[in-house]
Amino acid sequence: MPNITLPDGSKRDYDNPLTVMEIAESIGAGLAKAALAGRVDGLLVDTSCLVSVDAEVAIITERDHDGLEVIRHSCAHLMAQAVQRLFPKAQVTIGPVTEDGFFYDFAFERAFTPDDLQAIEKVMGEIVKENLKVERSILSREDAIAMFKEMGEDYKVQIIESIPGEEDLSFYRQGDFIDLCRGPHVPSTGSIKAFKLTSVAGAYWRGDANNEMLQRIHGTAWGSKKDLNLYLQRLEEAEKRDHRKLGKHLDLFHFQEEAPGMAFWHPKGWRIYQAVQRHMRQVQDANNYKEINTPQLVDYSLWEKSGHASKFADEMFSVESDNRMYAIKPMNCPCHIQVFNQGLKSYRDLPLRLAEFGSCHRYEPSGSMHGLMRVRSFVQDDGHIFCTEEQIQAEVADFMDLLFLVYKDFGFDEVILRLSMRPEKRVGSDDLWDKAEQALKDALNATGLPWELVPGEGAFYGPKIEYSLKDCMGRVQQCGTIQVDFFTPGRLGAQYVAEDSSRKTPVMLHRAILGSFERFIGILIEHYAGALPAWLAPEQAMILNITDKQIDYCQKFEESLKNKGFRASMDLRNEKIGFKIREHTLQKIPYLLVVGDKEVENGTVAVRKRGGEDLGTMTFDDFCTHLSQDVANFGRSDSALMTENNSSE
RNA sequence: GCUCGCAUAGCUCAGGCGGUAGAGCACUUCAUUGGUAAUGAAGAGGUCCCCGGUUCAACUCCGGGUGUGAGCACCA
């Protein structure tokens, strides 16, 4: 008879086989009430699962991550049940768990409206109150298909038919609702306590744009009302940080109909752009990149040669002029090869690292554009390294070192690494791919960090590493990349003279650290909630006079700061000091310098930091030293700058 | 590109059975010269996204377009 080992190591003997729920009951009534599922020898199961042999058993509650997933998955079923109660004609398809909740896709004759969502939510509440038992059952494929056919659930039939293998399938029933599902699920609908439907949108059946569009209802579910509210607050916080909102509020940039997907940068936004670019230029110079600049308009034939036209013709802007077709460059690499091709190159010239802040345009699909994050006009911190096969590994390793340093400068410590391996359709020999993939793997392993291998996702010309960073909201943003390219240099005739005087084709590494400046600045704005660290802040210090008696002094102070290279301005308006402080605090300026009669008399300014901290009075030199130190610290997250965001507003 | 929303003052947003519109902030003027998150008063400000249709009459209803939001698809 079963001897059960609990997670704390304690053991219990039972006389008869019993269910997970019965084990929970034997431990305590409270635990039994909270039990959502169980883990038996590492396997996640329903609370109704019978344990008849010795096993390690854990009771899963809302406190476990797995418990949350069970709740969300069950909540998806709950929603589907509610939808079918309200709309019997709606067909169910799939309903998986997502990072913060779940969704379910439905096929229905008309679109669901926000009002429908409310009604569905209400019915969900009713089903929770009914506390329907959730029961698992097993059906053969034939029976299952017959059942769903009779129910008119065509999509379910398709799903079952596409599941490989011959085994029977598990089903979950709660009242009048039954769904194909691996499980596990909560014991009864009453276990689902906190949920909310968040949105409805279209989604293609099986994720394929050639298929019909279903309707996806998104929802979120949590173990308690409190957790749900915390999550909703997090959403609100993300909304407050939205770079589109802050871009307007802080007067950084705008978009308008005449130039969809292309930013108009305002003076303050452009200062940020310049600061970011200045930094990257300096970093590249210091690391033996040679900056170049190439045309934005290039004859279409080059894009045909490079292979881009055949694949991306629809996504390229083109211009006809003087009976010639030009494309507005969607990327810099073909142009960089043109620069490489000028003059005979020797193996001694390699590795040759070319960099360009080149303006590129891509006709992105209208529905994909999103503020600065996805635009049609952008500039990358783009670079191409021409090297030999033997040099790949060292170049990749150097690049990674640089990338980590740069991310730290911008305040990002957590980097997520992914290696995309050879796709089915590719060029180059397997031998070459083996080498390139190995080189990237070695470089990744050398970091000592975990990385993820993604099969089949590489570019057709070579494998690539993608670097994502986590912002302070925990969101993952893909930014950097390094890609090995065996293909394009040869296609565009790049060659170098090897040691044995033979002509060889160089390998090209495409690489970017930030990705596009537009997108990266969008990420920065959201990461810092608009309160950029001093080295990036468009306005570093604002001088505020108390009365107009101090105007001369303020003007001199401002001029001196500007002469030192700081970005300073003054607000001499006839307003009360409290008003000015409020206004410039809302503009998230790092330092406010208050000047009254006292300061004029002593030759100082009263320094107030963005978060409200009073640094007392300082002389011009003292303040310059302070600000210089702050600027020199960049956005390194060990500084106090991060905490100050939360206290503003 | 697809599905469903949305588009009103510089900004954030109200509004109306179809009879050409309103608030707060910002802006301008006047008064006020003040010490760390909103001084008071007055004034000005609108092609209600664009093009058609219905109607005596359209910002409102209908159709189309553009932009935009959420999601899907795409992302060299």
Q: Is the CB of A457 under 7 A from strand B?
A: no
Q: For residue A228, give every residue at least 6 positions away whose Cβ sits within 8 Å of its Cβ, in sequence order, or none.
A: A194, A195, A196, A220, A221, A222
Across chain A, mean pLDDT equals 94
How distant is the alpha carbon of residue A298 from its chain centre?
33
Q: Which of the 8 DSSP states describes residue A457?
A: -
Q: Is the residue at A156 inside a domain?
A: yes
Burial class (CB in 10 A: 0-12, 13-18, 19+), A18: middle
pLDDT for residue A612: 93
Supply the pTM of this predicted model: 0.94
Q: Is the residue at A75 inside a domain?
A: yes
Q: Is the residue at A636 inside a domain?
A: yes
Structure token pair of residue A622: 């003292």
pLDDT for residue A114: 83
SS3 call for A368:
helix
Domain enclosing residue A111, as ranges: 70-236
Q: Is the CB of A261 under 7 A from strand B?
A: yes
Q: Are residues A178 and A273 in the same domain?
A: no
A227-250 core/surface letters (b: 16 or more CB in 10 A; e: else) = bbeebeeeeeeeeebbbbebbeeb
Residue type for position A242: D
Q: Are residues A88 and A221 in the same domain?
A: yes
Nucleotide nearest to A114 (CA to C1'): B5
Closest CA to A81 of A138, A136, A120: A120
Using only C-alpha atoms, chain A has a radius of gyration, in whole angstroms, of 31
pLDDT for residue A637: 67
Tell me which of A486, A503, A527 is where a domain ends: A527
Domain at A194, CATH number: 3.30.980.10
Domain at A468, CATH number: 3.30.930.10
Whether the CB-CB separation of A554 and A570 falls below 8 Å is answered with: yes
pLDDT for residue A166: 83
pLDDT for residue A645: 42
Strand B near-CB residues (< 7 Å), A 165-224: 199-204, 207-209, 213, 215-216, 218
C1' of nucleotide B69: residue with nearest CA: A370
Domain at A614, CATH number: 3.40.50.800
Q: Are residues A55 and A83 in the same domain?
A: no
Q: Are residues A330 and A404 in the same domain?
A: yes
Domain at A33, CATH number: 3.10.20.30
Q: Are residues A311 and A284 in the same domain?
A: yes
Q: Are residues A518 and A596 in the same domain?
A: no
Q: Are residues A194 and A89 in the same domain?
A: yes
Q: Is the CB of A548 under 7 A from strand B?
A: yes
Q: Is the CB of A257 under 7 A from strand B?
A: yes
Tell me which of A176, A211, A236 is where a domain ends: A236
Q: How far is the CA of A244 from the C1' of B22 (A)?
A: 27
Q: Is the residue at A273 inside a domain?
A: yes
Q: Are residues A609 and A504 in the same domain?
A: no
Give me the active site residues of A, please: 333, 362, 380, 382, 384, 464, 510
Strand B near-CB residues (< 7 Å), A 340-369: 362-369
Q: Is the residue at A247 inside a domain?
A: no
Count: domains in chain A: 4
Q: Is the residue at A245 inside a domain?
A: no
Nucleotide nearest to A478 (CA to C1'): B75
Q: Are residues A138 and A8 in the same domain?
A: no
Q: How far is the CA of A145 from the C1' of B75 (A)?
A: 38
Q: Is the residue at A57 inside a domain?
A: yes
Q: Are residues A80 and A168 in the same domain?
A: yes
Q: Is the residue at A619 inside a domain?
A: yes
pLDDT for residue A642: 43
Nucleotide nearest to A573 (CA to C1'): B33
Q: Are residues A223 and A371 in the same domain?
A: no
Is cis: bond before A330, omega within 30 of 0? no
DSSP per-residue codes, A166-217: S--EEEEEETTEEEE------SBGGG--EEEEEEEEEEEGGG-TTSPEEEEE
Q: Are residues A165 and A33 in the same domain?
A: no
Residues of chain A with pLDDT under 70: 637-649
B chain positions with any atom within 7 Å of a protein CB:
1-5, 11-12, 31-39, 66-76
Tell me which of A28, A61, A94 is where a domain ends: A61
